[in-house]
């Protein structure tokens, strides 16, 4: 860039934020990793040691996390099923309303996650919809504290994160391909399957990642909507640090989570590069 | 730019078209009705959903006269305002530096920025908790040694929330300001240099006015993210309750109509900050400068990532 040569002193501007990253991002992650190799002291907390014990017990105590992966997977699939048609309508039929409709998808993301989850707690709770159903029809249902409520909470909170990247990839699609397909006699369904769907694949993949990773670390949704019965990594971590105070095991779990996440993102970057062949900055960010 | 809507031809295509549109309407209702329900019931005189009696502000009065709520609101506002200022300064300065350099250092900072945005809040919160507790454990004996036994002890509190919130919000400000810098008209800067303006003068008269809307919008976003955040504050706040922490604790004990009032106040503060930010960005874009149209939507996506 043209200005680069003229402002060699500009790099000093990086010093404050560089220090911030060093002290409040890198150092904490390093401390986390160090603690994960330690042992739990008898009254909780951390005792220095160099052992892989925590990581080993990660494997033996794997059962609760299959639950996490299962629900996170189901939640991601439901977000995809709900988000794809929405993104499709936005990209193909929104017309001059596009800007407004896009803004309406983004706005919920900027409002408090806690409140969005609380809203469903209020609606599904015993004084909400079930009470109304009971008064009107005499039906007695339990909605809150069920896996259904957890899935609903996931779809509600993460739908925009799924719809946005899919919308972006559909929007970038070359429309003339569809016309060509139609001219060659393909029906709308065949055109959709053979052109639209493959071309929106990068958006689908980033959407799934943007949903799957944070859902695995979810804390609020299972606590407020699942009654703490459905165990996610977020709940496990919070229990390990705040209740049972098994710091090293919690640290090992958190470290494994971060590593898993980085691996998935790296894999994604690789796949996206192959899919788009443009090689530009990955469209995840 | 609105592309011409593909005109549906056959009957089945017409049906698909209708079905898709109907679905979109339902999806939008799904996104907004739950929040509206909370707002509506915050003004309901009755205790719960089945008891829709009439308009009342009694739950707001109840919340307002609750000392814990007021204290938590004060904490939240202080934390969010401090975070916004710090994040704006750090995020903007690093964005300016990064836009004028190439090579390894720039890539390193790009990666740090993305890591700060994508690492889930719960991991950031826990790592910060462990780090700060460990660091305080080391520092406190030295402080006591240096300043005598009466010296203050370091501990978790509003300040630890501020430093952790600043970490990921400055990354967000950085992304927004860099997007704006990319879309900026470089020829003005070059012209200014050709006319022998000093770099500082060029910055003050050319660069800064152009990026100002993005800077302010980034600051306001940092404010709302900090103000709304629950999970990071949950781990790092110590004794200083924020409003989301108070709300969480109170709804875990049981849903009360007062919680609806608090939630509505939180929403109102967030949405006003956001609208101001949105208007500023829009005004910035309306200028005859080519905006980074392309960066617009993905940017919204990674901003969203910061919340989760």
- What value of ipTM does the predicted structure carry? 0.85
**Minimal C-alpha gap between B2 and chain A (Å):** 5
More confident residue, A81 or A40: A81
**Minimal C-alpha gap between A8 and chain B (Å):** 8
Q: Which residues of A touch B302 (CB under 8 A)?
A: 284-285
Of the pLDDT bands very low, low, confident and very high (cuts 50, 70, 90), residue B117 is confident
pLDDT confidence of residue A33:
93
Nearest to A214 among B98, B300, B308 (CB): B308
Mean pLDDT of B235-264: 90
User: Phi first, then psi: what are they for A51, rounded to 5°?
Assistant: -145, 150
Of the pLDDT bands very low, low, confident and very high (cuts 50, 70, 90), residue B215 is very high
Partner-chain contact B255 A110, CB within 8 Å: no
Mean pLDDT of B246-266: 88
Contacts of A165 (CB under 8 A, 6+ apart): A202, A203, A204, A206, A207, A210, A283, A284, B298, B301
Q: Which residues of A touch B251 (CB under 8 A)?
A: 118, 121, 224
pLDDT confidence of residue B123:
93
Q: Residue A107 in contact with residue B274, Cβ under 8 Å?
A: yes
Of the pLDDT bands very low, low, confident and very high (cuts 50, 70, 90), residue B126 is very high
The whole-model pTM stands at 0.84
Structure token pair of residue B85: 């200022």
Q: Is A104 on the interface with B (CB under 8 A)?
A: yes
User: Phi first, then psi: what are they for A133, rounded to 5°?
Assistant: -60, -40
pLDDT confidence of residue B9:
62
Q: Which of residues 256-275 of A touch B (CB under 8 A)?
A: 257-258, 261, 265
Partner-chain contact A188 B48, CB within 8 Å: no
Partner-chain contact A114 B305, CB within 8 Å: no
Is the confidence at residue A106, as pLDDT, over 90?
no
Is the confidence at residue B170, as pLDDT, over 80?
yes
Mean pLDDT of B270-291: 67
B23-41 confidence digits (pLDDT tens): 999 999 999 999 999 999 8
Of the pLDDT bands very low, low, confident and very high (cuts 50, 70, 90), residue B169 is very high
Q: Which residues of A touch B96 (CB under 8 A)?
A: 10, 13
* Strand partners of residue A47: A39
**Minimal C-alpha gap between A261 and chain B (Å):** 8
More confident residue, B214 or A47: B214
pLDDT confidence of residue B164:
96
Nearest to A132 among B49, B98, B105 (CB): B49
Partner-chain contact B163 A224, CB within 8 Å: no
Q: Is A165 on the interface with B (CB under 8 A)?
A: yes
More confident residue, A149 or B54: A149
CB atoms within 10 A of CB A49: 13
How many alpha carbons lie under 13 Å from residue B254 in its C-beta half-sphere? 5
Helix H or strand E encompassing A221: helix A220-225
Distance in angstroms (rounded) separating the CA atoms of residues B235 and A241: 9
Could you give the angle at which helices A147-171 and A98-110 cross, rounded to 10 degrees?
Answer: 140
Distance in angstroms (rounded) separating the CA atoms of residues B263 and B206: 42
First to last CA, chain A: 22
Q: Is A2 on the interface with B (CB under 8 A)?
A: yes
Partner-chain contact A86 B24, CB within 8 Å: yes
Is the confidence at residue A79, as pLDDT, over 90?
yes
pLDDT confidence of residue B2:
46
Distance in angstroms (rounded) separating the CA atoms of residues B27 and A36: 43
More confident residue, A184 or B277: A184
pLDDT confidence of residue B199:
81
* Strand partners of residue B55: B44
Which of A59-73, A140-154, A192-206 has the weakest average pLDDT?
Answer: A59-73
Nearest to A283 among B32, B37, B298 (CB): B298
Nearest to B34 among A11, A119, A247 (CB): A119
Q: Which residues of A touch B127 (CB under 8 A)?
A: 28-29, 31-32, 254
**Minimal C-alpha gap between A60 and chain B (Å):** 22
Q: Is B16 on the interface with A (CB under 8 A)?
A: yes
Q: Which residues of A touch B31 (CB under 8 A)?
A: 104-105, 108, 156, 159-160
Partner-chain contact A17 B49, CB within 8 Å: no
CB pairs under 8 A between A and B: 292
Q: Is A24 on the interface with B (CB under 8 A)?
A: yes
Nearest to A28 among B20, B127, B308 (CB): B127
Of the pLDDT bands very low, low, confident and very high (cuts 50, 70, 90), residue A62 is low
Distance in angstroms (rounded) separating the CA atoms of residues B205 and B199: 10
């Amino acid at each position: 860039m043209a200005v680069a040569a003229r402002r060699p002193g500009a790099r000093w501007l990086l010093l404050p934020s560089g220090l911030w990253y060093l002290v409040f991002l890198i150092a904490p992650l390093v401390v986390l990793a160090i603690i994960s190799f330690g042992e739990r002291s008898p009254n909780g907390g951390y005792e220095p040691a160099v052992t892989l014990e925590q990581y080993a017990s990660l494997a033996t105590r794997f059962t609760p996390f299959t639950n996490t992966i299962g629900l996170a997977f189901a939640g991601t699939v439901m977000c995809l099923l709900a988000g794809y048609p929405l993104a499709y309508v936005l990209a193909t039929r929104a017309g001059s309303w596009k800007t407004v409709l896009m803004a309406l998808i983004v706005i919920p993301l900027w409002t408090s996650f806690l409140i969005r989850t609380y809203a469903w707690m209020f609606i599904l709770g015993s004084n909400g919809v079930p009470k109304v159903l009971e008064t009107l029809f005499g039906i007695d249902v339990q909605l809150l504290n069920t896996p259904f409520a957890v899935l609903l909470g996931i779809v509600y909170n993460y739908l925009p994160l799924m719809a946005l990247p899919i919308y972006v990839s559909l929007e970038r699609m070359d429309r003339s391909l569809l016309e060509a397909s139609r001219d060659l006699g393909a029906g709308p369904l065949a055109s959709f399957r053979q052109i639209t769907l493959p071309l929106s694949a990068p958006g689908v993949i980033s959407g799934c990642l943007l949903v799957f990773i944070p859902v695995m670390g979810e804390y609020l949704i299972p606590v407020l909507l699942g009654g703490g019965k459905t165990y996610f990594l977020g709940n496990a971590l919070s229990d390990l640090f705040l209740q049972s105070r098994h710091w090293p095991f919690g640290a090992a779990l958190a470290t494994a989570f971060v590593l898993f996440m980085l691996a998935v993102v790296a894999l994604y970057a690789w796949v996206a590069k192959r899919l788009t062949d443009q090689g530009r900055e990955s469209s995840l960010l | 730019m609105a592309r011409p809507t593909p005109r549906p031809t056959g009957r089945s295509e017409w049906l698909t078209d209708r079905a898709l549109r109907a679905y979109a309407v339902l999806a939008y209702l799904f996104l907004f009705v739950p929040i509206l329900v909370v707002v509506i019931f915050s003004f309901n005189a009755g205790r719960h959903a089945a008891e829709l009696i009439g308009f009342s502000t009694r739950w707001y009065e109840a919340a307002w006269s609750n000392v814990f709520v007021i204290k938590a609101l004060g904490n939240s506002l202080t934390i969010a305002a401090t975070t916004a200022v710090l994040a704006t300064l750090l995020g903007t300065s690093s964005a300016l530096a990064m836009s004028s350099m190439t090579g390894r250092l720039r890539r390193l900072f790009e990666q740090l920025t993305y890591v700060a945005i994508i690492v889930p809040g719960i991991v950031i919160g826990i790592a910060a908790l462990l780090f700060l507790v460990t660091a305080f454990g080391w520092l406190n004996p030295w402080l006591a040694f240096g300043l005598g036994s009466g010296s203050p002890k370091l501990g978790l509190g509003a300040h630890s929330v501020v430093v952790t919130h600043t970490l990921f919000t400055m990354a967000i400000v950085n992304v927004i300001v860099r997007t704006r810098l990319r879309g900026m008209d470089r020829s003005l800067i070059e012209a200014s240099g050709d006319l022998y303006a000093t770099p500082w003068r060029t910055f003050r008269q050319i660069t800064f006015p152009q990026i100002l809307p993005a800077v302010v919008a980034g600051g306001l976003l940092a404010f709302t993210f900090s103000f709304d955040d629950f999970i990071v504050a949950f781990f790092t706040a110590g004794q200083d309750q924020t409003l989301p922490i108070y709300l969480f604790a109170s709804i875990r004990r049981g849903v009360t109509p007062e919680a609806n009032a608090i939630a509505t106040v939180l929403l109102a503060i967030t949405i006003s900050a956001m609208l101001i930010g949105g208007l500023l960005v829009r005004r910035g874009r309306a200028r005859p400068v080519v905006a980074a149209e392309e960066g617009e939507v993905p940017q919204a996506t990674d901003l969203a990532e910061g919340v989760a």
